[in-house]
Amino acid sequence: MNHKFQEVDLMKRTLTSVLVAGALFSLAGAPAVAAVTDKDIENDAKSTGDVLSWGLGTQGQRYSPLAKINTKNVKDLVPVWSFSFGGEKQRGQESQPVIHNGRMFVTGSYSRLFALDAKTGKKLWKYEHRLPDGIMPCCDVVNRGAALYDNLVIFATLDAQLVALDQGSGKVVWKEKIDEYSAGYSATAAPIIAKGLVLTGVSGGEFGVIGRVEALDAKTGKMVWVRPTVEGHMGMKDGKENGVSGTTNATWPGDLWKTGGAATWLGGTYDPETGLAYFGTGNPAPWNSALRPGDNLYSCSTVAIDVATGKIVWHFQGTPNDGWDYDGVNEFVTFKSKDGKHLGGKADRNGFFYVLDAKSGKFQKGFPFVKKITWATGLDENGRPKFDPANRPGDPAKSADGKKGTSVFSAPSFLGGKNQMPMAYSPDTGYFYVPANEWGMEIWNEPVTYKKGAAYLGAGFTIKTLDSKEIGGDYIGAMRAIDPATGKIVWEVKNNAPLWGGVMTTKGGLVFWGTPEGYLKAADAKTGKEVWSFQTGSGVVAPPISWEQDGEQYIGVASGWGGAVPLWGGDVAKKVNYLNQGGSMWVFKLHKSGK
Ligand code: CA
Ligand code: CA
């Protein structure tokens, strides 16, 4: 596995002309942009004329209250425009666009950002970040989207920076380095806004970075607080020490916490009702769990951080002492249960779906959302896994030559029951719509020592398909409607390739999602009956959005196959190596204007 993308060198472009073009456009009279306020952000899930945040609202429900496109007329949904991201190399496009004042802001592979006329697809400006040699993204040169605040559009780059651009001109307003890319840090998550702060995580769990959540003043980029997600590290607020996360060495042996991973690489969600930001955390480093007995907090967890104080209020760990790379980064989506409780749901990479109290983090319920889980036999009353010790990869120190521990076959694979593709929740049906994958892996441990900027795994692996008899058919992906009250899979739509795009559901009774085979699909949210599909020309690994403009409802999604599966997918990558790369934005509306 070559962790460095040599292509980056080939892909580097000059930035000069971009900034000049942006300035000219501004002089030519770009319309003034109404500022995005905290109130707008908090109201985003309800406002239909814009999409201001990753998750269609900071809670991340990915529910559009629009019903102009519905189960009855969705057959008349047709493309309005398509925009190519261009460039010589097409890579994974995992971005969720945002919409404001008739403009779409969508990020592309290689840290690019495009401003487009949302109605016509006309390019307004483009920003291409100048990437240095030697960036180390683990899992393709992706980006998952931008945040909007005031007159700014803010996104994270592969060399671990945050860049804020003027929405009208594309001019850089501020730029802040999160950390050293040469130490393995990168950034791919869509930032979110909470109370005037821009919140972001870091990537680099495969290089022994220190996971953290950073909060910057969204207008200026000035650091407000930092909260490390590895136990033992000191937090900061307003330039002063703000308390250690947890207790040093309580759950980590020796010095391993100093390079402990727990990367917050998928970003977070924020619930204005609780005032908490919820960030998922990745694997503890290194992968070889024999080296770090203990729970290794706060890896493979959800941490709830009080946005006002920058302190962890609660945490819930799905996979203590992870030995399978079950990054618990998956989004925590808050919702109201039918009996009025304020809860949150999370479909963890480890194969279990968790329902927790949104305010206290108290475990309510947990159940598998995939059909085969080998590493645990179930959950106890607190949601802690009942490990199957025989399914933990063995300690290489106990092998005959000290070089390779016992290999085991584990499910899910380390790419997870669910990965980066965000699920959706419908308050109409009360179901979560979860893009799940059924797969497994051979995994074993090897000796490893930390070296700055080098892969820090101490493991070998090959992803495999599962026996079709064990999972009830020949498929990997499955879009599943899950009732959080019962833990039942209400319906599913199987997919040959692993699903890697996100989901959206609507008041129109629809669920939209993309497939690596290139389709954007819609199904009836109640029954799972497929009611519409469109072939976008490349694999869809991004979440769809919807908004309203001049009385019509639009649906949009980025298309472009890539991400972690082709790079890390072992036998599954070989199985789907026919899939086409690409890079474009697609937008749809009703052919008959909703009549
Ligand atoms: Ca909105
Ligand atoms: Ca990982």
The pLDDT value recorded for residue 221 is: 98
Q: How many CA atoms lie within 13 A of 406 on its CB side?
A: 12
Residue 20's pLDDT band, with cuts at 50, 70 and 90, is: very low
DSSP state of 399: S
Residue 89's pLDDT band, with cuts at 50, 70 and 90, is: confident
Sheet containing strand 510-514, edge to edge, reads 63-64, 503-506, 510-514, 519-524, 530-535
Kindly tell me if the per-residue pLDDT of 14 is higher than 80.
no
The pLDDT value recorded for residue 13 is: 32
Question: 547: CA distance to ligand 1 center in Å?
Answer: 7
Q: What does R_g of the chain's alpha carbons equal in angstroms?
A: 22
- Active-site option among 44, 50, 322, 325: 325
Question: 325: CA distance to ligand 2 center in Å?
Answer: 5
Question: Residue 247 is which amino acid?
Answer: T
Q: Does residue 327 carry a catalytic annotation? A: no
The pLDDT value recorded for residue 26 is: 40
Closest ligand, as measured to the CA of 564 = 2
Of the chain, the end-to-end C-alpha distance in Å amounts to 54
Nearest Cα to Cα of residue 109 among 134, 133, 78, 88: 88
The pLDDT value recorded for residue 32 is: 57
In this structure, which residues have their CB less than 5 angstroms from ion ligand 1? Answer: 44, 47, 50
Cβ neighbours, 10 Å, residue 430: 16
Closest ligand, as measured to the CA of 420 = 2
Give the model confidence (pLDDT) of 309-328 as tens digits. 999 999 999 999 999 999 99
Closest ligand, as measured to the CA of 51 = 1
Task: Give kind and range of the element (H or E) at residue 483.
Answer: strand 477-483
In this structure, which residues have their CB less than 5 angstroms from ion ligand 2? Answer: 205, 282-283, 325, 327
Give the model confidence (pLDDT) of 416-463 as tens digits. 999 999 999 999 999 999 999 999 999 999 999 999 999 999 999 999
Give the model confidence (pLDDT) of 268-302 as tens digits. 999 999 999 999 999 999 999 999 999 999 999 99
The pLDDT value recorded for residue 4 is: 39
Question: 403: CA distance to ligand 2 center in Å?
Answer: 22
DSSP state of 207: G
Nearest Cα to Cα of residue 160 among 184, 147, 179: 179
CA distances from 11 to 84, 131, 155, 187 (A): 16, 9, 19, 18
Question: 390: CA distance to ligand 2 center in Å?
Answer: 22
Question: 205: CA distance to ligand 2 center in Å?
Answer: 5
- Range 400-411 burial, b when 16+ CB lie within 10 A, else e: eeeebbebbebb
Polymer length in residues for the chain: 595
Residue 167 vs residue 593, higher pLDDT: 167
Question: 236: CA distance to ligand 1 center in Å?
Answer: 32
The β-bridge partners of 99 are 51, 104
SS3 content of the chain, % helix, strand, coil (to 5): 10, 35, 55
The pLDDT value recorded for residue 350 is: 98
What DSSP letter does each residue of 43-62 carry, written as one string?
A: TTTT-SS-B-STTSSTT---
Question: 57: CA distance to ligand 1 center in Å?
Answer: 7
Q: Tell me the two tokens of residue 355.
A: 């329902």
Closest ligand, as measured to the CA of 285 = 2
Q: Looking at 92-246, list the stretches that DSSP marks H as alpha helix, in order from N- to C-terminal side.
A: none
Q: What angle do CA 509, 511, 513 make, to 5 degrees?
A: 165
